[in-house]
């Protein structure tokens, strides 16, 4: 029997000890009329060899394309040690560290993770992670409502330069509690939030302003001015940041005069594979003064009966298993295993290694922009710097171009035409440090062919 | 055994140079630049590997210890599930890549949806919720959307039995609902009279865990269904304890409108030190129009994402992409290896193991919370008597078990039973390991009578002894400050 160790003799002895004749008798409290006779719609069992064959075939069918999409999930080199260690059974098959004495490994690791994330974002404290970057933003909005006692409106300003999927998730996660998410337009000529567009809300009671850096279009926002604008109106600042970029660019804690209040984002770039979008992990950090409003698990350092240093879950009075309906969130788990991988990744890379990755990403994207700007029918949407994404404008529809590139085994970017119609036939492309000069040149040639073919069809 | 923080091994200028590219010059204006580097350690690859390997050795885990943690279903996590979910073709797939580049993955997800429909007796399945609590959120949000669509926005009361997980009431609040608590009778079933009194024109629905967290099957499930449906409410099945009923009864057949499943419990995806979980939801006919997106659909031979265009009434997206895809792959692989007969065996042997341990502990002199009931896949021992007579608490027993090499059962949950241990052996434990657990419990009971102070001081063999939680909360130390070491 798959994964069940019982011998016939075991079963006999156990039934005898219980005092029943059959295993079926143990289900006698379930009303007979409700019982089903097996699950015919589930296929017959397969052995490990056969499932290996099935899964290899499917994985091979999906292949390993040349990927130039970012948009919230990034292909980075992951050092071999990361998942070798993270999938050790002692990490992989442990549970929530409620019994602290039996979970010091996981707890100390989370304390190290909290230290790294707080420092990376330039804020005081971090939690042990959320589900993903988008849901972390929803939770950050709810947290801002709790923390900002000067505001009663529950109004959260979200620029359209924030990831469209993040905007949708924030509304789905937090919208049922009376929050109002207001989308603010951006400067279509340069791809960043315009302070003038914010002025329409200058006299309103605002709970928070969300500032993405770099933004969804790969551009750098004027974070200092935006932060000061929000603080001048007693609105909190929620930073949505890419952790790789923080090796190079100013962390949220240093934005403007006072710094952002809460930072959150997608932790996937820190050693987690793209894997069709999950499991990833969201991170969340904040100033010390808001720590009791933060959702999710938090680990603290303390001492044991003998005075030795040890680690334990703390401030649990915020959480659902203690506070039930009065908890800061219904979140129960963190993304423990992903945090394990990320902590190992950040340890291996260090600040210099992470800066190495970040600079290679910036320069590779700049190179893509350079190559694409000489392709007929392609122009670059915004002049000036970008992190590892850039917007291209095509003189033909994007979807058929992406289809042609897919046929060449190239994931050629994300079609923006539905979410950003004002940009026309816009395509968001990304090149991380994993792309070589040959890869970028191949992408350029394939793009030229695809655009020419699609434009030709149109004529 | 203690391990220094990795920051304490850091030395200026040390690097694992093979693992990352060197810093390049970039075009970045000064006002955007970071001035001081983040506090990441400067260590070698060997130092990193050794540090985290040592940390791992300070954990209890299923792979190293019996882990009878009630309500968590700590069963064996087959290695093949991990190996195959980490094939390069799955890891390299970008979530937004063209569907033609993900047919292998999408087919797998489509088949997983179908298997989960069959297991639960539901009409539709969405795989996107990233944990049980998010599955609960999806369920209650769908119930709310259903009432709103019918012009019944005043229906905002969610009934929750008092034995429920804390996530149930917290979820109801996150969905903008009020919580009405329903008491449990002395046999562990929902108090039907109280339920009848509680329902009314504002009832949105009930969240019911079955078998309940008390480790018993709700025998009046059909009456509960009738009372709530007659009042115009919907029924939410918290599938936390699905392991106990797999292949025996199906929530859909019992008339439930929505269920979430904890794939990390029943379908053996790893708990990972506290996540990632996966809380797929199954829905009946009435809630199909509100499912969270994306869902995997099939046109002819091609699999594709269903989004707002296909499910316009959707409660929306709960994650940027499609939830914990890699966890879903592991659940699929496990389910295929179990097959239809293996599924029923899961509940049979989980129930056999629970009842066996329950009877042996009872015979050894422990008090059961519900001595006249069958155990489901778990059961409760109450140490109220020992606590009164010997001064030894459930927590003392839990800590002492660690010294015997067993992870502790769940303690002090559910809140209804004083000094309780919620014990769930799961089907993957062999009889001799269950016997070992029982012997350890008996030994601790003996020791409690002879030398209670010793039991109260446990554990003695773990990397640290009992920790000062009060100090942890009062003198918050949540991040390492290097200045504190230099000083």
The model's pLDDT over A173-211, given as tens digits with 9 standing for 90+, comes to: 999 888 999 999 999 999 999 888 999 999 999 999 999
What is the arithmetic mean of pLDDT over B52-69? 98
pLDDT for B15: 87
pLDDT for A170: 97
Is ipTM strictly over 0.95? Answer: yes
Interface touch A353/B166, C-beta < 8 Å: no
Q: Which domains does chain B have, with CATH numbers?
A: 80-337 (3.40.640.10), 344-471 (3.90.1150.10)
Alpha-carbon distance of A391 to A379, in angstroms, equals 9
Please list, residue by residue across A238-265, b when 16 or more beta carbons sit within 10 angstroms of its beta carbon and e when fewer do: bbbbbbbbbbbbbbbbbbbeebbbbbbb
What is the arithmetic mean of pLDDT over B363-370? 97
Alpha-carbon distance of A249 to A252, in angstroms, equals 9
- Give the residues across from A60 on adjacent strands: none
Task: Pick the closest to residue A394 from A381, A384, A383 (CA basis).
Answer: A381
Q: What angle do CA B418, B421, B427 make, to 5 degrees?
A: 150
Predicted confidence (pLDDT) per residue in A232-254, tens digit: 999 999 999 999 999 999 999 99
Q: How many residues does chain A have?
A: 459
Alpha-carbon distance of A63 to A385, in angstroms, equals 33
B466-469: Cβ within 8 A, 24+ apart: B466/A101, B466/A304, B466/A305, B466/B399, B467/A100, B467/A101, B467/A302, B467/A303, B467/A304, B467/A310, B467/A311, B467/A312, B468/A302, B468/A303, B468/A304, B468/A305, B469/A302, B469/A312, B469/A314
Predicted confidence (pLDDT) per residue in B117-168, tens digit: 999 999 999 999 999 999 999 999 999 999 999 999 999 999 999 989 889 9
pLDDT band at B485 (very low <50, low <70, confident <90, very high): low
Alpha-carbon distance of B254 to B344, in angstroms, equals 18
Q: Which domains does chain A have, with CATH numbers?
A: 66-74+350-458 (3.90.1150.10), 80-344 (3.40.640.10)
Retrieve residue B165's tokens. 């997980």
pLDDT for A459: 63
pTM of the model: 0.97
pLDDT band at B19 (very low <50, low <70, confident <90, very high): confident
Contacts of A355 (CB under 8 A, 6+ apart): A247, A248, B23, B37
Burial class (CB in 10 A: 0-12, 13-18, 19+), B351: buried
Chain A residues with CB inside 8 Å of B103's CB?
Answer: 61-62
pLDDT for A458: 67
Which residues, numbered 407 to 436 in chain A, qualify as contacts with chain B under a Cβ-Cβ cut-off of 8 Å?
Answer: 407, 409, 411, 414, 433
Q: How many residues does chain B have?
A: 487
Alpha-carbon distance of B360 to A268, in angstroms, equals 47
pLDDT band at B487 (very low <50, low <70, confident <90, very high): very low
> With a cut of 50, which residues of chain A have pLDDT below it?
none
DSSP B20-80: SPPP------GGGB-SS--------HHHHHHHHHHHHTTB--TTTSB--BTTS------HH
Half-sphere exposure of B364 (CA within 13 A, CB side): 19
Give whole-number Cα distances, A295 to A130, A131, A191, A321, B230, in Å.
Answer: 8, 11, 32, 12, 37
What is the arithmetic mean of pLDDT over B12-28? 90
Chain B residues with CB inside 8 Å of A129's CB?
Answer: 275
Where is average pLDDT lowest: A322-326, A402-406, B188-192, B448-452?
A322-326
Interface touch B469/A312, C-beta < 8 Å: yes
A307 touches chain B (CB under 8 A): no
From the CB of residue B13, how many other CB atoms can be counted at a distance below 10 Å? 6
- Give the residues across from B239 on adjacent strands: B261
Contacts of A67 (CB under 8 A, 6+ apart): A75, A274, A410, A411, B92, B94, B97
Which residues, numbered 310 to 339 in chain A, qualify as contacts with chain B under a Cβ-Cβ cut-off of 8 Å?
Answer: 310-312, 314-315, 317, 319-327, 329-339
Predicted confidence (pLDDT) per residue in A123-178, tens digit: 999 999 999 999 999 999 999 999 999 999 999 999 999 999 999 999 999 998 88
Which residues, numbered 365 to 394 in chain B, qualify as contacts with chain A under a Cβ-Cβ cut-off of 8 Å?
Answer: 373-375
Which residues, numbered 216 to 255 in chain A, qualify as contacts with chain B under a Cβ-Cβ cut-off of 8 Å?
Answer: 220, 224, 246-251, 254
């Amino acid at each position: 029997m798959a994964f069940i160790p019982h011998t016939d003799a075991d079963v006999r002895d156990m039934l005898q000890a219980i005092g029943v004749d059959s295993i079926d008798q143990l289900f006698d409290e379930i009303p007979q009329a409700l019982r089903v006779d097996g699950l015919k719609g589930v296929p017959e069992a397969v052995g490990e060899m056969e499932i290996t064959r099935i899964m290899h075939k499917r994985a091979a069918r999906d292949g390993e394309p040349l990927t130039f999409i970012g948009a919230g999930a990034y292909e980075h080199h992951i050092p071999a040690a990361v998942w070798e260690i993270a999938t050790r059974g002692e990490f992989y098959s442990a549970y929530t560290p409620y019994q602290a004495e039996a979970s010091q490994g996981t707890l100390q690791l989370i304390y190290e993770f909290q230290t790294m994330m707080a420092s990376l974002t330039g804020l005081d404290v971090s939690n042990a992670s959320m589900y993903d970057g988008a849901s972390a933003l929803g939770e950050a909005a709810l947290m801002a409502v709790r923390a900002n006692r000067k505001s009663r409106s529950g109004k959260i300003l979200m620029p359209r330069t924030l990831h469209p999927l993040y905007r949708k998730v924030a509304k789905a996660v937090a919208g049922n509690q009376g929050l109002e998410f207001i989308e603010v337009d951006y400067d279509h000529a340069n791809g960043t939030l315009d302070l003038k567009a914010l002025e329409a809300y200058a006299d309103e009671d605002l709970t928070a302003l969300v500032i993405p850096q770099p933004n969804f279009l790969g551009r750098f926002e004027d974070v200092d001015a935006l932060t000061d604008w929000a603080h001048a109106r007693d609105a909190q600042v929620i930073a949505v940041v890419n952790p790789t970029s923080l090796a190079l660019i100013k962390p949220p804690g240093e934005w403007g005069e006072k710094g952002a209040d809460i930072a959150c984002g997608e932790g996937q770039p820190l050693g987690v594979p793209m894997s069709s979008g999950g499991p990833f992990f969201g991170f969340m950090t904040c100033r010390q003064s808001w720590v009791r409003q933060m959702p999710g698990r938090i680990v603290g350092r303390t001492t044991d009966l003998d005075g030795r240093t040890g680690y334990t879950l703390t401030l649990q009075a915020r959480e659902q298993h203690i506070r039930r309906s009065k908890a800061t969130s219904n979140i129960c788990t963190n993304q423990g295993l992903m945090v394990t991988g990320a902590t190992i990744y950040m340890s291996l890379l260090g600040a210099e290694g992470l800066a190495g990755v970040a600079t290679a990403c910036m320069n590779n994207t700049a190179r893509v922009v350079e190559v694409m700007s000489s392709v007929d029918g392609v122009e670059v949407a915004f002049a000036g710097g970008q992190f590892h994404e850039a917007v291209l404008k095509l003189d033909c529809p994007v979807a058929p171009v992406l289809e042609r590139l897919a046929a060449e085994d190239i994931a050629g970017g994300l079609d923006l035409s539905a979410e950003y119609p004002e940009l026309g036939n816009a395509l968001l492309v990304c090149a991380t440090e994993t792309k070589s000069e040959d890869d970028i040149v191949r992408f350029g040639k394939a793009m030229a062919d695809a655009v020419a073919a699609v434009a030709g069809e149109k004529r | 055994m203690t391990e220094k923080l990795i920051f304490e091994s850091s030395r200026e200028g040390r690097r694992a140079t093979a693992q990352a590219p060197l810093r390049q010059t970039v075009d970045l204006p000064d006002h955007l630049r970071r001035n001081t580097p983040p506090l990441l350690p400067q260590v070698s690859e060997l130092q990193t590997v050794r540090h985290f390997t040592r940390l791992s050795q300070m954990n209890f885990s299923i792979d190293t210890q019996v882990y009878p943690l009630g309500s968590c279903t700590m069963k064996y996590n087959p290695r093949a599930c991990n190996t195959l979910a980490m094939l390069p073709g799955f890891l390299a797939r970008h979530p937004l890549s063209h569907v033609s580049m993900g047919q292998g993955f999408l087919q797998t997800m489509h088949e997983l949806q179908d298997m989960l429909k069959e297991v639960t007796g539901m009409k539709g399945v969405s795989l996107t919720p990233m944990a049980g609590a998010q599955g609960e959120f999806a369920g209650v949000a769908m119930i709310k959307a259903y009432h709103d669509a019918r012009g019944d926005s005043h229906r905002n009361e969610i009934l929750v039995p008092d034995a429920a997980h804390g996530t149930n009431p917290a979820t109801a609040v996150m969905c903008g609902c009020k919580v009405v608590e329903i008491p449990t009778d002395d046999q562990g079933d929902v108090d039907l009279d109280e339920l009848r009194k509680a329902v009314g024109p504002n009832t949105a629905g009930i969240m019911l865990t079955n078998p309940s967290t008390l480790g018993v099957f709700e025998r009046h499930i059909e009456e509960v269904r009738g009372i709530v449906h007659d009042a115009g409410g919907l029924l939410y099945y918290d599938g936390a304890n699905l392991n106990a009923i797999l292949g025996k009864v199906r929530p859909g057949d019992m008339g439930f409108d929505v269920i979430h499943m904890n794939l990390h419990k029943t379908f053996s995806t790893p708990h990972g030190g506290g996540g990632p979980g996966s809380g797929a939801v199954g829905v009946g006919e009435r809630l199909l129009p509100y499912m969270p997106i994306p869902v995997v659909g099939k046109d002819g031979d091609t699999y594709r994402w269903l989004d707002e265009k296909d499910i316009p009434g959707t409660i929306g997206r709960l994650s940027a992409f499609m939830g914990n895809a890699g966890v879903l792959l592991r659940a699929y692989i496990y389910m295929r290896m179990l097959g239809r007969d293996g599924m029923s065996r899961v509940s049979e042997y989980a129930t056999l193991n629970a009842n066996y341990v329950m009877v042996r502990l009872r015979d050894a002199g422990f008090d059961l919370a519900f001595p006249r009931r069958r155990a489901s896949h778990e059961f409760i021992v109450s140490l109220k008597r020992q606590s009164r007579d010997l001064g030894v608490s459930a927590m003392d027993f839990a800590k002492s078990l660690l010294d015997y090499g067993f992870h502790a059962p769940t303690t002090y949950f559910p809140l209804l039973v004083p000094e309780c241990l919620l014990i769930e052996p799961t089907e993957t434990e062999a009889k001799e390991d269950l016997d070992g657990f029982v012997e350890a419990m008996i030994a601790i009971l003996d020791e409690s009578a002879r030398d209670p102070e010793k039991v109260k001081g446990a554990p003695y063999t773990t990397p640290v002894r009992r920790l000062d939680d009060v100090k942890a909360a009062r003198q918050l130390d949540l991040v390492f400050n290097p200045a504190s070491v230099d000083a």
